[in-house]
Amino acid sequence: MSNRQRPHAILAIALTALALNAGEAASQLITDAESMEACEVRRLGGGLDVPEWLAFASAPSLMPDATGRILLRAGQVAEITVLDADGGYVRTIGGKGEGPGEFTFIRDMGFTGDTLWLQNWPALHTSFFDSAGVHLKTERDLGPPSTGPNTQRTSIPLAGGRGFYIPPTGPHDEARVRLPMTVGSRSDESRDTLAFRWDDTDMSIAGVGTWAFRATVTPPIHRLDPEGHGIVIADWVPDRPETVTVRRFDEYGNLTRETAIGAELRPIPSGVKSAFIEEGMRKAEGPYESARRMGQRVPPSLRAAVEEGLLLPDFYAPIQSLLVTRAGRVWLRETMIADVYEGQWVVLGPDGEPEFRVSAPEGMVFRAVHGDRVWATGTTELDVPFIVVYELVRPGGCG
């Protein structure tokens, strides 16, 4: 049974009732890396009279190519938009349909070398395009459509005919299961396991439903190498996240680099935990009572089921997302806490050592990095999404 509600997000309720003082909320990976600043260079969209390709209903996904152009995917669309390094329109790629190079919706995008791939949803057919947007081929996926929750799966191309895979959950008793994150050849079923992740980290109650509601980020989290040459996985121990371990694997599953960074423990106060649980109970109460009246097997205590279903730890996660650049850098976004905005990112160099830290301007989320340019999204007071291009400079370098 699924009672999932979208959009997928850590809901605002858990962030509005949680006043922490600045001392409690300091979000710090333990590193003495120098600071950099992000200076605004250009703003795109967000107005009432903007070109169609800059009119977004939700924050777009952004991905740079090797030349610094940005590929933009905004919501459930069947084509992507290519912008030049200054934000000017170049072309669209894809389109609605069932033929080669056409899509129901584009679920994901990436590169294998210089070749762009776009993946369809719900059938995970993958189409490949050259740098001019010309369709090269389409690989038909033979597995079941990835409609979720039990059939949701990952099958993504990597360089050299390899792929990254997470299998579907399949039929089970609705208890959470751990799924292998694997790499292997796209031409056979041989797989090498890199890590394991939960099939679902949203609030889930067996026999009742699943909701797009989380207390904090549950590890591990991952990103593809921008050219398809492997996977970067960040992991920590949820019960005591004193260390974030960043592992880089190549497309053959070989561990090529491992970096461990200390993290300050930031306990989730009891009042904050109660706010998460109370909101979870409010969301689950109706479906829980309906299931109970229908004679379905439900947990005896809704409160205990919500607490367990939230995967609620004693400490906040040290990071909440990561980015990987073509230059081999890994950007780690430290977890933000309500009422104390920090927006800090710690950047690891190609050698795995901390290079610098930079703060995203309030309300902005860094989405893509190319060289010294950072592409971010934010929303206006009317909740209209827009894009900002920043340049990284040393402290005091913003004009």
What pLDDT digit, counting tens, does each position of 188-221 carry?
888 999 999 998 889 988 888 889 898 889 999 9
Read off the pLDDT of residues 238-264 as tens digits, 9 standing for 90 and up: 999 999 999 999 999 999 999 999 999
Structure tokens at 68: 């610094």
Amino acid of residue 382: L
State the pLDDT at residue 11. Answer: 40
Question: Is the residue at 29 inside a domain?
Answer: no
Place of tokens 């260079």: 41
Number of domains the chain is built from? 1
Model confidence at 304: pLDDT above 80: yes
Question: Is the residue at 134 inside a domain?
Answer: yes
Read off the pLDDT of residues 24-73 as tens digits, 9 standing for 90 and up: 344 478 888 899 999 999 999 988 788 888 998 899 999 999 999 999 99
State the pLDDT at residue 250. Answer: 98
Among candidates 282, 355, 352, 267, which has minimal Cα distance to 312?
Answer: 267
The boundaries of the domain holding residue 119 are 34-140+152-393
Question: Is the residue at 209 inside a domain?
Answer: yes
| Residue 227 Cα distances to 112, 147, 230, 251, 273, angstroms | 5, 27, 8, 10, 41
Give bridge partners of residue 366 from the DSSP assignment.
Answer: 376
Question: Is the residue at 228 inside a domain?
Answer: yes
Q: pTM of the predicted model, to two decimals? A: 0.90
Question: Is the residue at 1 inside a domain?
Answer: no
CATH number at residue 349: 2.120.10.30
Read off the pLDDT of residues 140-161 as tens digits, 9 standing for 90 and up: 998 888 887 778 899 999 999 9
| Residue 193 Cα distances to 189, 244, 249, angstroms | 12, 20, 11
Among candidates 94, 112, 87, 110, which has minimal Cα distance to 376?
Answer: 87
Question: Is the residue at 172 inside a domain?
Answer: yes
Sheet strands (E) in 206-315 = 209-211, 221-224, 231-235, 243-249, 255-262
Read off the pLDDT of residues 114-133 as tens digits, 9 standing for 90 and up: 999 999 999 999 999 999 99
Among candidates 194, 187, 85, which has minimal Cα distance to 139?
Answer: 187
